[in-house]
Chain A
């Protein structure tokens, strides 16, 4: 019986213990599962959950052949946690910290001392960059090192594969935002919005299936297509660099425009900058002067003036006039020619051919100044071109009431009016296109990331002068190439070329100084012009006459004719007489 009682007591104690423990477990269970459930769940999810950026590509800027001018590429930022940096073992061998840094430096072409400094300056820090912007190739090489403390994170970088060639047009991307050019103006088309995803992963780093959640969709940017032909753009830039540096010019601009549709095939500003690395570039050369810097064009404006006068019915190519040695505007105020000479008996063609200031003043006197102002505006001067380049200048055409008695004549030879290279090229496009101005075009459109092409609005062509006036003017410009003093430089064998030179004085606070802008504008083939070329150099030092711009113009125009396989001219030119 005692034995039985004893065992009964044992059972009782055991039961009490079991119940106590069970109670403990139940209370713990209730605590974990019910009381703190939400809080704990959240904490555990936090530990397992990782969020990642889903990189979206900023759109590319491409030329008319689809070559990338600006595009996004993968790069990697290499970093480390200084607390973990130290020696490590690889294949049984110990790699010391400094040896590891030397390896990294060799692959990334950086300085091992700087890498060591980055980790040793604060050993308690949790994070430090070692090298930024490492290429995928370098990343693969770095991974081969099997360095346990090396971290590499994907980032996006903007590159400009052709470097400086189209830098003036594409602009560049700063750290936070696009800074200039098409990058900035067409940001709404190009910009990408990175996405965010969260997922949970196990202790071994493998993503747990079914846990990925797209928090935000990545939105890729669209592509902007320019009308530029980057091969031609490169050639023109090289030509400007060669002749510009020979002339000691401060800067130069050139433009090639296709006559039929006003597409700008090359818009070059020299010197320029490399958008891949512009930290050292002088800011004054980081824009596009051909759109942003107006200047007084000088005599290349005379071709426009003659077209206006012929269209207005005030003269014609063979019209006989007497160009005086001096043209007296009012007593004591004279307009004189570049080379002072006696009175000459010139035709209107001869006035443009010899670039006679006094001759064109005689003709300009026939046109009321309000009408002249109207014509200048019709040619597109005084307002930005249809391109609407970021920061484009409108130039200046004086309101009629401000056109004084001298400016009235000066305007016809490119003084008292300021224009951009783009506007000047547009006016020659008008002359080349039988008097119809087709709005200039630099950006063809935006291809959205869904593949839809949104063209830039096409402006309406405007008739500025009659076809006859335009053609007569082109014929006269042909005489400059065929018979003028520059014929040996300007002639292109097999082609008929029309061109006009200009040497403009640069206005300073105390009148016109010694510095010049020399330019040449023209077109070919003259019987039915297909391409317009404009070249100008600012403040050339070794030669200050427009003839100095002729070799560059000639090289560019003949290259254009070859590049686009323009058929040589077959009809001989019938040119107007220059004197009587």
Chain B
């Protein structure tokens, strides 16, 4: 629009003073502005057409880009969902309990608490018997078999493998330590803690340490 207005505006304004100067020179002098007029007009038209072409190329190029970005977003969303479903499967109580059991953890419903103010032990801590609650029971009445998600199976497999490795390593390394472990078997919970955790103070060691019974 602006290009067109500009091209028609200028020649008209330029020819005005010449029209008043001489009538004889009019035909020759007129030919030059007419040619200029045509050139400018054609240039304007081609500029517009060219511009439109570029614009439509850009727009359709943008459409392709949008399409590809949208499919990227969808892909990411899917990835998110896949991972989300895996997380849900892993945090499901059934999975956690089975995992904990496979790592040798046992539930103990008789904990004691440390009172931070004076370091007193509150409640009676009783070691778990290691028998109850280690098995995950089927809870449905139907005959359906529920297949655990692949991710859960993978984790179980990884743990089983690492346990096998640990067992091998233990066989090779520590025959005498095994006897010591048997000797303190009466308090299984304490032994596990003692052997796996370094006695270094945790949390800065500012909590008064209770006398271990």
Cα–Cα distance between A442 and B62 once the two chains are bound (Å):
51
Return B67 CB to nearest CB of chain A, in Å: 6
Q: Are B140 and A272 in contact (CB under 8 A)?
A: yes
Q: Is A273 an interface residue (CB 8 A)?
A: yes
- Chain B residues with CB under 8 Å of chain A are 59-60, 62-64, 66-67, 78, 81-82, 85, 88-89, 91-94, 97, 107, 109-113, 122-124, 126, 132-133, 135-144, 146
Q: Are A164 and B140 in contact (CB under 8 A)?
A: yes
Q: Is A67 an interface residue (CB 8 A)?
A: yes
Q: Is A559 an interface residue (CB 8 A)?
A: yes
Return 8 A-B CB contacts under 8 Å, by A number. Answer: A206-B67, A209-B59, A209-B60, A492-B110, A558-B110, A562-B110, A567-B113, A570-B122
Say whether chain A's binding surface is mostly helix, strand, loop, or mixed.
Answer: mixed
Closest to B77 in A: A74
Closest to B60 in A: A209
Q: Are A164 and B93 in contact (CB under 8 A)?
A: no
Closest to A276 in B: B146
Q: Are A162 and B144 in contact (CB under 8 A)?
A: no
Q: Which residues of B contact A272 (CB under 8 A)?
A: 139-141
Within 8 A of B (CB), among A209-244: 209, 230-231, 234-235, 237-238, 240-242
Cα–Cα distance between A442 and B59 once the two chains are bound (Å):
54
- Chain A residues with CB under 8 Å of chain B are 67-68, 73-74, 135-137, 139-140, 159, 161-165, 206-209, 230-231, 234-235, 237-238, 240-242, 245, 270-274, 276-282, 285, 492-495, 555, 558-559, 561-562, 565, 567-568, 570
Q: Are A274 and B146 in contact (CB under 8 A)?
A: yes
Closest to A556 in B: B109
Closest to A240 in B: B139
Cα–Cα distance between A172 and B97 once the two chains are bound (Å):
25
The 8 A-B pairs at the shortest CB distance, nearest first, are namely A234-B93, A271-B141, A494-B123, A161-B88, A568-B123, A493-B124, A558-B109, A281-B142
Q: Which of A135, A139, A282, A494 has its CB near the most chain B CB atoms (within 10 A)?
A: A494
Q: Are B122 and A281 in contact (CB under 8 A)?
A: no
Q: Which of B89, B111, B144 has its CB near the most chain A CB atoms (within 10 A)?
A: B144
Q: Which residues of B contact A136 (CB under 8 A)?
A: 78, 81-82
Q: Are B122 and A567 in contact (CB under 8 A)?
A: yes
Q: Which of B59, B78, B142, B146 contacts A140 (CB 8 A)?
A: B78
Q: Are B81 and A568 in contact (CB under 8 A)?
A: no
Q: Assuming A68-B88, A562-B109, A567-B113, is B137 touching A281 (CB within 8 A)?
A: no
Q: Are A238 and B139 in contact (CB under 8 A)?
A: yes
Q: Which residues of B contact A245 (CB under 8 A)?
A: 137
Q: Which residues of B contact A241 (CB under 8 A)?
A: 137-139
